[in-house]
Structure formats: structure tokens, C-alpha cells
Amino acid sequence: MKIYLSFTIAASKMFFRRKSSIFWSLFFPVVTMLVFGNANILGYSAPNVGLIDYANTDNSRLITDKLKKSKSTEIQLIYSENEAIELLTKGSIASYLTINSSNNNAESEIIITTRKGDFAEKEVVSNLINSVMIGDANSLEELSNIKSNIADINYQGYKGFIIPGIAAMAIMQNGIFSVVFTLLSYKNQGVLRRLQATPISPSHFIVGHLISRVTIIILQTFLLLIMGVFILGVSIGQ
Amino acid sequence: MPIIQVKKLKKKYDEFEAIRGIDFEVEEGEVFGLLGPNGAGKTTTVEILEGLIKSTSGEAYINDLDVSKDTKLVKKIIGVQLQSVNFFEKLSLFEIIDLFSTLYSYSVDPNKILERVGLSNKRDSYFKTLSGGQKQRLSIAVALVNNPKVLFFDEPTTGLDPQARRNLWELIKSFQEEGKTVVLTTHYMEEAEELCDRVAIIDEGKIIKINSPSNLIDELTSSGFKSSKKIREATLEDVFIDLTGKSLRED
């Protein structure tokens, strides 16, 4: 037991004393994550907009057709609120429209639902609807009431991909470089041969080394997640 | 009762026979030299005794333990210095000694061992910063962590300057005074003459002769051998030591 511990401590000491290992496994992934997380690599693309037509009148169908012809969005017909919320959570649509009819004296209306923080999407969709309305104001009088609604979804978008991605990359990189390369260099230098001359079994050395590396990898992942939460503002565990 | 017994030891690598039937015995407290040109089989013989490689056939015993069966027990009572010395680069000498003593489940004071080999002032330096002679001395220090009965030194002085070599000789002599058995390989004849009680001369995987250095010289001279060189009172190495002094340079 003491032998495992000694190897674990020795391997960790050697890791932290090597500047290149600190750079590549701690500094490099953090910087990469912050740079890519803040740069909007995907850029702007036409948002996919869901559409639920509860009214199903001539007018609402007219609006639907007009929206479909528009090039600035991709309209996807949806038939229930639950489905819409699900798509919104997954990120396959950026917002959805609900067309309600004027039953029971309630005014007919169009509701734009977007996610928290997606101001740009909301703007784009409401501008789009306005432009469609202006083109055919008369027939659309009854649908002139446009409201907006914010769904309680904290969509992480690109950052939600980049953080787990970089964390996974860092773990793999540590697995390859810091475990395999270290062992290979020990073999080439003859360090393993010297250990072979002592009465321990290879598992003592391997396990001690692995415990040290797994601990370092956990530490590294925590560091990346903490940076992600506090600097890039993603939320974890929802 | 000899502490090391080697009987009909053979080692074959595919087609190549590294050693072809070696027999010798080493008494407790003896310094035994294995001499021979490069590729003669010195290192192979020593590595079989150290349990690093398996012999193809034959038997080897250290302290009555079969090297091929009780390898772990054998490793516990021997100290090993390998031909190519290398340790963890980013550990201090103190940490290396401490780590290795744990591997033998033996508790020692690393400071004392480092003092013994003259490296106390380097206890906090990393291995990679040491000079050749210092690396050899560390390697010997590591061989001492389990207070071994038998020490194996494989070409310990190759590549060292005369001062460092003499320093190692003194160290090896001190082990003999303590009653430890030493098996030494070398291709420096003056080293074997200086240190070894008996030497075995190996060539092409076989032992040609085993005897004490002085007996071997007597044997040769009595057969009518005349050295082509004039025997002088001193050698060039004596001149070198006289001019540069005996003290180690690297510290």
C-alpha cells in the first residue's frame, strides 16, 4: 500500500515540476476554452422558427405561407406546445410563434416565444412578422396583436458545446501525453529497467502512476468547469 | 558455502548464444570480477543473477535462493547498479533514495546513504543535473538502500575521469571491508587488479580462466611471457593524478 502511495506522490511531484506538462494540460485547454467560448465561431445564421397554428383560419394560413416564403427564417410547423418547448430546449429551433384565434371574445394574437437571453432572435422574428403584416395589412387586421413571451429555458448554445468539448479533449490529451509518453520515456531512459531490479511488481508502478494522473485529470476538469461557469457564464447540471 | 553459485548457465537470443555454459562460485565477502571484451557475455551473466532476464538453461543461486524461481526474494538481498544509469529526472536525490527504500520496504535515512557516497551537498538537486561520476555514485547509493548482502556493479567506472574512478574504487573497497560480496564487471584491467580478489575472464560466452589477478600474472610470466613494453615505476595515469590532484572536480 505504501508503495502505491509513494509512486503516486512521486509521479505527481514530477508532473508539477515539469513546466511543459503544466502548460499543456492546465494552461492550454483553459485558454483555448476561453478564446473559443467568447468568439462566436458559428456566426449568424437564419434562425429556425417553430409555428403553432391554433387558429387555423384563412388568415392564419396566409400568414404561415408568407412566413414560409421568407428567406430570413426557416419555418417548421409544430402541433403542440410541449413539442415546441422540447425543440427549443434542444436548440433545433431558436423561437416559436403561436397563432391564437379570436374565440370567446379573446383577441386574436401572435405570441413570439424565445429563450432567456436570446434578444437578437426575438428582434429578428418580430421584425419579420411586422414586414409580413405591412405587406398585407387589410386581411391581417384581426391578427394585429403581437405579444412576446420568454420561455424558462437557459440555452447555452455554442458555449454549451465548447466547454464539455474542451474538457473531453483535455482528458484525452492528458491520457495520451502524460500517461503514455511518460511511460515510454521511462522505458527508453532505462528507468523501468532499474525498477525491474527491485522486488516490486509492475502493477505497483502503473497503479501509482495512474492514481496520480486520474487525480490530475479530475483537477483539470474542475478547473475548466469553474472557468466555464464564472467566466463564460454557462450553467451546469440542469 | 559460496554465496553465489552458477552452474552451466546458458542464454540464447534467437540464433545468438550470448553465454554458452558458465560455471563459477563466489565466496561471501569476496570481490569477484567478470572481465572480458565487449559482447563477451558479462552483462548477460550479471542480469540473469539480478533476475532481470531469464536464463535459457542452467542454474544460478544467490544465498541458496534459486534466481529463476525465488526472483523476488533474491532481489531483496541484492543491490544493483546497472550499466546505463537513469532515474526519475525530476526527483531530488533525497526523494529518489527515499522512494527506492520504500520499494524494498526498508527504512533508511537517505542523508546517511548520500553522505556515504559523497553526495550530501546534492541532496536537493535533480538527477538530471548530475555529472557522470555523480550519477554513478547515486546509482551505487540506490543499490545500498536495502543493506544488501551482494552488490552487483556493471561497468561502474566506464566513462569516468581518473579522479572519479579512484573515488569509486575507494567506495567499493569500503563495501568489502564491511563484509559485503561484490560482483563487478569491467574492461579496465588495472581496476580488476586493484579491487578483485578473483577474476573470471569471459570471452564469447565462456569462462576461459578463473583465478586471482596476481596468480594469473604469475602464470603468464612463468610461461616465459615477456612484455614488449618496458615496465616503469609509474604510469601516465600516475602522472595525471600527480598533476591534477586526487580531489573530485564535479562537486
Beta-carbon separation of A199 and B103 below 8 A? yes
- Cβ of B76 under 8 Å from any chain A Cβ? yes
Give the pLDDT confidence of A23-35 residue by residue, as tens digits. Answer: 888 888 888 888 8
In A, what residues contact B, Cβ < 8 A? 2-3, 6-7, 10, 13-14, 17-18, 186, 189-191, 193-200, 204
Chain B contacts of A191, Cβ < 8 Å? 86-88
B133 closest CA partner among B143, B153, B147, B118: B118
pLDDT above 90 covers a percentage of chain A that reads 19
Nearest CA to B82 out of B153, B16, B185 is that of: B153
Please state, in angstroms and rounded to a whole number, the distance separating the CA atoms of residues A100 and B217: 115
- Distant-in-sequence, close-in-space partners of A16: CB < 8 Å, separation ≥ 6: A22
Model pLDDT, residue B11: 93
Note the ipTM here.
Answer: 0.88
Q: What residues of chain A lie within 8 A of the CB of B80, using their CB?
A: 194, 197
Which residue among A10, A18, A196 places its CB closest to the CB of B52? A196
Number of Cβ pairs < 8 A linking chain A and chain B: 63
8 Å CB contact of A196 and B103: no
Q: What share of chain A is helix, strand, coil (3-state, %, to 5)?
A: 65, 15, 25
Over its length of 251 residues, how does chain B's per-residue pLDDT go in tens digits? 899 999 999 999 988 889 999 999 999 999 999 998 888 889 999 999 999 999 999 999 999 999 999 999 999 999 999 988 789 989 999 999 999 999 998 889 999 999 999 899 999 999 989 988 899 999 999 999 999 999 999 999 888 888 888 888 999 999 999 999 999 999 889 899 999 999 999 999 999 999 999 999 998 888 888 877 777 788 888 888 888 887 777 65
Nearest beta carbon to residue A191 from set B76, B87, B104:
B87
**Which among A78, A69, A85, A90 has a CA at the least distance from the CA of A50?**
A78
**Among candidates A2, A190, A197 on the partner chain, residue whose Cβ is nearest the Cβ of B75:** A197
Q: Distance of CA A138 to CAs A130, A135, B114, Å? A: 13, 9, 98
Measure CB to CB from residue B76 to each of A13, A14, A199 and give the nearest one: A199
pTM: 0.79
Return the C-alpha cell found at B246: 586526487
Give the C-alpha separation, B85 to B94, whole Å: 17
Contacts of A186 in chain B (CB under 8 A): 88
Given A17, A18, A197, which is nearest B52 (Cβ)?
Answer: A197
How many CB atoms are closer than 10 A to CB B54? 11
Top pLDDT among B51 and A37 is at B51
Tell whether B129 is within 8 A of chain A (Cβ): no
Judged by a CB distance cut-off of 8 A, whether residue B107 touches chain A is no
